[in-house]
Structure 1
């Protein structure tokens, strides 16, 4: 079976350090493990190619240089060129990661008549309007409508995204397909190697406002102050794995709060497991979404924390309460409650057995419930495939 994976968003490098890049790579791996011959068609290949994907065929057609509304048209043109390449090469399934201006899936499925999947990871039209700038809203809406109706399955990462697709494109064949994790790439952390009086909490992600890292720094500062005054073990430092526009502000905030913080910068996905293994816990400090912003994310970092056997402290927003079981695979706290977050750190700092138990149970849940193979299996089960896909 030949699978054409289309990623026309130039902001998503196939071989990059972003969570979106990890998603592209992992779905490609899952297709290959299922026995498919995968070719990725993209506008941005990236440079961080993992060794196990060295033989993955990639066709890269970058958009022409342009700004503003003309750039949006250029991306659409590049996506149409990718579709032409897929049609020329042929495929048995076309699988596209939804991007704002790409008509590729509809073009390929309409020409070749092959099964098709549109993978929707976020309500990009609203996201682009809120955080960046969307010049041609009608084009973005028309592309979504065309592709979603052409797809045999619109695989959406969360219930809010399912509802968003159905609200914008009545008749779309939606499927809930949350993110997963590669439990072979991310193994469990070794036990007994960390210092009992100096603990480190990890955060993995792009340093942007909606990830809540300032709240994490505040909570660590509060936990350290209260632990010190009570004489308890477990002073916390922070390891920030990732980069983004908020890095300098976060560095200043950490210094002002007296929190010891290491900023690794952007790292290739293969480096993440080792960095996590050197830490004692991991955090997902998402804030409460503002009215109208929604909680549509499927938190890739949380699945990775679980696979690494990390005790997790996370805010109870979005899908997180359905993934992390409070007191069993992690500790959940209300968003915006620095005192509750700090109390969770103090609890973990004072109880090594609790840290180990939460981490072990988190790893077991990741292995049993959240593999990328199971994600892909749910998707392919909905397709009219003429050739079987291993399950």
Structure 2
């Protein structure tokens, strides 16, 4: 099958170790390994990145051949008009509407995707490129949705307002209606889209994110990582992810304070970065925990398994932000912890409660329960046999149900069903 994968995010850095990029990388790699032809299109300023290999995930230094041909959007007149309008927009503080970017993406897709069987787009706010391209080419359109981004913007403290909110709502509805299939990363998100956006249930499929099991728990690098972080043999509690509101880092820090009171030798390693980092650093300084809490910042995604090799306990604290409030419901870290064979403590929210079997593949704690979360961590630190059992069970479940190979198999089934059932679409000259 010839598949196009589109992500209309301005200046996307595919080599960055963030969840969206990791997801796209494994999707593209897995489909290619399964024998499909896959083309990736993404925005780079006023150009469209175009790739048939995985080099875009390793470097930003790409030759001109990695940029798509453009028609009208690449012309001197178009660029001049766009520059003038953007200048006025900036001076008058008018909202960014992404219309030029959507046209640019759709036009490049139409040029480069003739003869393709299907377009798969990762949904982004005000992103119309995939929708317009699929209509222009008359091919099936699969939309992957990881959150209600309008509500997530509000959750992050940047709610859409006025005309931009109206346009974002309109564009979202157009994309949802145009899609032949919408892939949701969690059941809670599926239910939210059905109830809040009035999408029929038959259009929605649930496909959680995945992670690959790395054979051998220690992978030979644990002592190297410990030395790099200034650690000896102290027990390590680890968290991996973005510092965002739906990851309840306040709960984690409060809980770790209790853990530290009982186990002064315990260490907390926070892997990642994001908007809440400043408040995390402030809390650490106020409590005098600089000796016990290590912040690594962003690391390459390929290094995450190595980092997890030193973890005795991995944690998934999640605030009760359901999909209808902008939460994703599907933390990538959960599957990576399981694949690494690390014992898990998680709040019983959304997908964590669906994936983890309490006392079998991890320990589940009620959302917001600081004392209970601390007790669960201490239980695992104090009971090595329980840690090993939960980690082993989690790894087995990851291999059986949540590997990237399993993910790709399910994705292929979705694609096949869409191709078989999608109505014939004569090309419409939205972009020509």
The TM-score, its normalising length taken from structure 2, stands at 0.78
2:135 paired residue among 110, 115, 129: 110
Kept in 2, the 8 Å contact 1:208–1:245? The answer is yes
User: Are residues 1:96 and 2:125 paired?
Assistant: no
1:351 corresponding residue in structure 2 = 383
User: Are residues 1:254 and 2:254 paired?
Assistant: no
Kept in 2, the 8 Å contact 1:287–1:335? The answer is yes
Aligned-pair CA distance for 1:96: 0.2
- SS across alignment from 2:217: coil
User: Are residues 1:84 and 2:135 paired?
Assistant: no
Aligned-pair CA distance for 1:294: 6.4
* Distance in 2 of aligned mates of 1:48 and 1:215: 37
* Distance in 2 of aligned mates of 1:359 and 1:223: 20
2:96 corresponding residue in structure 1 = 72
Kept in 1, the 8 Å contact 2:192–2:324? The answer is no
1:179 corresponding residue in structure 2 = 209
Kept in 2, the 8 Å contact 1:175–1:379? The answer is no
* Distance in 2 of aligned mates of 1:82 and 1:267: 30
Map 1:310-325; keep pairs closer than 5 Å.
310-325=342-357
The worse-fitting range, judged by mean Cα deviation, of 345-354 and 163-172 is 163-172
2:267 paired residue among 237, 251, 254: 237
Aligned-pair CA distance for 1:354: 1.4
- SS across alignment from 2:330: coil
State the aligned residue count: 374
User: Are residues 1:154 and 2:182 paired?
Assistant: yes
Structure 2 vs 1, CA of residues 341 and 112 (structure 1 numbering), >3 Å: closer, same or farther? same
Kept in 2, the 8 Å contact 1:153–1:379? The answer is no
1:378 corresponding residue in structure 2 = 410
The worse-fitting range, judged by mean Cα deviation, of 260-269 and 250-259 is 250-259
2:57 corresponding residue in structure 1 = 49
1:123 corresponding residue in structure 2 = 148
1:211 corresponding residue in structure 2 = 247
2:35 corresponding residue in structure 1 = 35
Map 1:275-290; keep pairs closer than 5 Å.
275-289=307-321
Kept in 2, the 8 Å contact 1:72–1:101? The answer is no
Structure 2 vs 1, CA of residues 252 and 168 (structure 1 numbering), >3 Å: closer, same or farther? same
Aligned-pair CA distance for 1:180: 1.4
User: Are residues 1:145 and 2:173 paired?
Assistant: yes
1:301 corresponding residue in structure 2 = 333
Structure 2 vs 1, CA of residues 21 and 123 (structure 1 numbering), >3 Å: closer, same or farther? same
- SS across alignment from 1:375: helix
2:199 corresponding residue in structure 1 = 170
2:295 corresponding residue in structure 1 = 263
Q: Deviations over 1:269-295 (max 9, x none)?
A: 111111111221111111233896265
Q: Which runs of 5+ in 1 are unaligned?
A: 229-234, 387-391
Aligned-pair CA distance for 1:70: 5.0
Structure 2 vs 1, CA of residues 117 and 69 (structure 1 numbering), >3 Å: closer, same or farther? farther
Aligned-pair CA distance for 1:189: 2.4
Kept in 2, the 8 Å contact 1:158–1:178? The answer is yes
* Distance in 2 of aligned mates of 1:77 and 1:374: 37
Structure 2 vs 1, CA of residues 103 and 289 (structure 1 numbering), >3 Å: closer, same or farther? closer
2:22 corresponding residue in structure 1 = 22
Aligned-pair CA distance for 1:58: 5.5
Structure 2 vs 1, CA of residues 110 and 291 (structure 1 numbering), >3 Å: closer, same or farther? closer
Kept in 2, the 8 Å contact 1:276–1:308? The answer is yes
Structure 2 vs 1, CA of residues 108 and 59 (structure 1 numbering), >3 Å: closer, same or farther? same
* Distance in 2 of aligned mates of 1:171 and 1:361: 36
2:362 corresponding residue in structure 1 = 330
Kept in 1, the 8 Å contact 2:150–2:326? The answer is no
* Distance in 1 of aligned mates of 2:131 and 2:275: 35
Aligned-pair CA distance for 1:86: 1.4
User: Are residues 1:220 and 2:252 paired?
Assistant: no
Q: Which runs of 5+ in 2 are unaligned?
A: 50-54, 74-81, 224-230, 421-432
